[in-house]
């Protein structure tokens, strides 16, 4: 009688495990019911989607994933008037250490190098206030002159993002 050795069993077992993990990790689009179950207080669902703005001859595009597991993630890309990439942002809103939602944002140049002001960590802004279709964040780290960042649904297909700065900076609010 031939007895299997541990090595002869491990390889087939490892292959079965890897195939099972690969099959289980196939990406699928969540159903409407699954999306509805992933509510966060405040409701971040109004952010989800692809947003586009033409400004100063350039184009800004911002894309947000539907909220899931108490967080949401976004990406922004800004194109110059000549079509070249000016800047990228990666953004997430997740519960902070105390459970309050916090916006974390990091800017990158076209070569994916983080901005100097954010090399030590992301722009960090806990939620200051919210209402249906509206969020306002107050920066606490790596914000340079920014003092407030807000997102507001202005219609079923429109959203406004406003970044306010310290008066002493001399900068006017940026409205996208």
Indicate if the pLDDT at residue 17 is higher than 90: no
The DSSP H or E segment spanning 18 is: helix 6-24
pLDDT(31) > 60:
no
Q: Which residue has the higher pLDDT, 45 or 26?
A: 45
Chain position carrying tokens 């692809």:
50
**Cβ–Cβ under 8 Å, residues 58 and 77:** no
Q: Which long-range contacts (CB under 8 A, 24 or more apart) does 151-160 make?
A: 151/46, 151/47, 153/46, 159/46, 159/47, 159/51
pLDDT, average across residues 34-49: 66
Average pLDDT, rounded, for the chain = 81
With 0.85 as the threshold, say if the pTM is over it: no
- Those residues whose C-beta lies under 8 Å from the C-beta of residue 59, and which sit 6 or more positions away, are 52, 53, 78, 79
Q: What percent of the chain has pLDDT over 70?
A: 76
């Amino acid at each position: 009688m031939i007895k299997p050795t541990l090595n002869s069993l491990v390889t087939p077992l490892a292959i079965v495990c890897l195939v099972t993990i690969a099959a289980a990790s196939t990406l699928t689009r969540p159903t409407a019911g699954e999306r509805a179950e992933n509510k966060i207080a405040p409701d971040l669902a109004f952010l989800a989607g692809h947003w586009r703005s033409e400004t100063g001859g350039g184009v800004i595009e911002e894309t947000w994933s539907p909220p899931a597991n108490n967080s949401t993630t976004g990406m922004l890309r800004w194109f110059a008037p000549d079509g070249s990439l000016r800047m990228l942002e990666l953004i997430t809103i997740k519960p902070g250490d105390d459970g309050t939602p916090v916006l974390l944002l990091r800017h990158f140049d076209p070569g994916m190098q983080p901005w100097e002001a954010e090399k030590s960590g992301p722009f960090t802004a806990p939620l200051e206030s919210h209402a249906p279709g509206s969020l306002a964040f107050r920066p606490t780290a790596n914000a340079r002159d920014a003092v407030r960042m807000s997102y507001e649904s202005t219609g079923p297909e429109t959203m406004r993002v406003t970044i306010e700065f310290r008066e002493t900076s001399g900068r006017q609010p940026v409205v996208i």
